[in-house]
Amino acid sequence: MSRLTITWLHPLGSLEDQLFQIEDSEAQTLVIDVDAFRDRGGELAARAINLINVFTLGPANYGVDLLGALEQAGTASARCLAGPNDLATLNYTGGTTGKSKGALRYHRELGGFASAILSDFEIPETPRYLAVAPISHVAGTKVLPTLMRGGTVHMLRGFDPEAVFKTIASERINFTLFVPTMIYVLLNHPALDRSDLSSLELLLYGASAMSPSRLIEGIERIGPVFSQLYGQTECYPVSVLRKSDHDPNTPELFLSCGFPIAACEVKILDDEDHEVATGEPGEICVRAPHVMAEYWKRPEQTAETLKNGWLHTGDIARADEQWGEAVTAIIVAREGARPNAEELIKLVRARKGSAHAPKHVKFVSELPMTGVGKVDKKVLKAGFWVGRDRLVG
């Protein structure tokens, strides 16, 4: 009984980088989409010495046409033969700090990342996901969670702003992911203001810092749909800055990495793996069920990166433990009255200004009182204070 472990080649990678990945991973089978990568596929098939099988999606002058073979073979029900201790994926790092390394995951870790995304990212109930960036990397991490929710995945070949606008409108896309430079291009494009993006509920961005002023512009012109992500090949996701945290009145928050997700234990450690004081810089270190198992064939680098049970990300940050207090209105409605929360918020904003307008409204039957008959503000606040560590890059 055979097992299958997958490694994805970056579609924009060089021939030498792709050959290195095929050979380093000891891949035996190569699958090529000949419509998009016919010539590159032929070069890889001819030069990768460890390949046993080459399959093509469509006819080519090399390899076996997998689509044709499937038509001849007929259909069969899919069966899952994998267990939690079977190898699942080998994701190669970007190689920005040296030679690219394969981050190995078993199915137990692979399942962890999908559950973490569904738990902490604001994925729509029935996702219609548009993948624009290569799914070999971060854009691909949203495919499995989308399918687990019974959603659909739409893919574009390359980043074409007009195609993005048209696809969002025609397919009623409610969820997508861009890197900041893509968002800048969309904001600069004349078609933005005449495009229907009303279906969009969540726009994830990450991979590099984004200009706060342009983010505010995006919120104003596209909507309050932005959410920032942070992670790396060795552990994704690590933290998220949700839509509600993207308040144009507090743009300084946009420069942070967000708040650690529930599945991640995050600490800022010094060179001796001691936790630094709040506000002091240190290395982001993570423990989570979806951290990679090891670097493929690199035991020394694995030991260094995973020493003392923590994933050492190599990223420097500081933790801001400021407590946040959002204006919240606790209201006891008059008997028979049915006030509308949004109308009340608008009323306060119009009369007192946005700084005084509540972000949340809660209707209760009665207010807690002290022994001398005053409203007990401590009890009221206790239910609404939220303290969270925020990672600041």
Residue 205 phi/psi, 5-degree rounding, is: -140, 155
- Can you tell me the mean pLDDT for 378-390? 52
Question: At 270, which amino acid appears?
Answer: D
CB atoms within 10 A of CB 4: 10
In tens, the pLDDT along 99-129 reads 889 999 999 888 888 999 999 999 999 999 9
* Interior angle at CA 385, CA 383 and CA 386, nearest 5: 120
Can you give the pLDDT at residue 379?
A: 64
Percent of the chain's residues with pLDDT above 90:
62
- The helix or strand, by DSSP H or E, that contains position 57, with its residue range, turns out to be strand 53-57
pLDDT tier for residue 96 given thresholds of 50, 70 and 90: low
- Is 87 in a helix, a strand, or coil? strand
Can you give the pLDDT at residue 388?
A: 46
Can you give the pLDDT at residue 373?
A: 62
Residue 103 β-bridge partners: 91, 295
Beta carbons within 8 Å of 58's beta carbon, 6+ residues apart: 33, 34, 35, 65, 67
Q: Are the C-beta atoms of residues 114 and 89 closer than 8 Å to each other? A: no
Backbone conformation region of residue 46, classed left if phi is above 0, alpha if psi is from -120 to 50, else beta: alpha
Place of tokens 């699958």: 31
Strands 64-65 and 311-320, sheet pairing: unpaired
Can you give the pLDDT at residue 173?
A: 98
pLDDT tier for residue 86 given thresholds of 50, 70 and 90: very high
Can you give the pLDDT at residue 383?
A: 55
- Can you tell me the mean pLDDT for 202-222? 91
- Can you tell me the mean pLDDT for 177-182? 94
**Range of lowest pLDDT (26-30, 133-137, 264-268, 310-314):** 133-137
CATH class for the region spanning 328-392: alpha beta
Q: Where are the domains of the chain?
A: 15-73, 95-263+285-296, 328-392
Distance between CA 282 and CA 68 in Å, rounded? 55
2 has a pLDDT exceeding 60? no
CATH class for the region spanning 95-263+285-296: alpha beta
- The helix or strand, by DSSP H or E, that contains position 65, with its residue range, turns out to be strand 64-65
Q: Specify the higher pLDDT residue, 372 or 333.
A: 333
pLDDT tier for residue 381 given thresholds of 50, 70 and 90: low
Can you give the pLDDT at residue 385?
A: 40
- Can you tell me the mean pLDDT for 141-158? 94
Residue 54 β-bridge partners: 30
380 has a pLDDT exceeding 70? no
Between the two ends of the chain, the Cα-to-Cα distance in Å is 47
User: What is the rounded average pLDDT for all residues in the chain?
Assistant: 88
392 has a pLDDT exceeding 80? no
pTM for this prediction: 0.78
Beta carbons within 8 Å of 11's beta carbon, 6+ residues apart: 36, 37, 134, 136
Reading the block at residue 73, the tokens are 């073979």
Q: Cβ-count burial of 132 within 10 angstroms (0-12 exposed, 13-18 middle, 19+ buried)?
A: buried
In tens, the pLDDT along 253-284 reads 888 888 999 999 999 999 999 999 988 999 99
In tens, the pLDDT along 6-62 reads 999 999 889 999 999 999 999 999 999 999 999 999 999 999 999 999 999 999 999
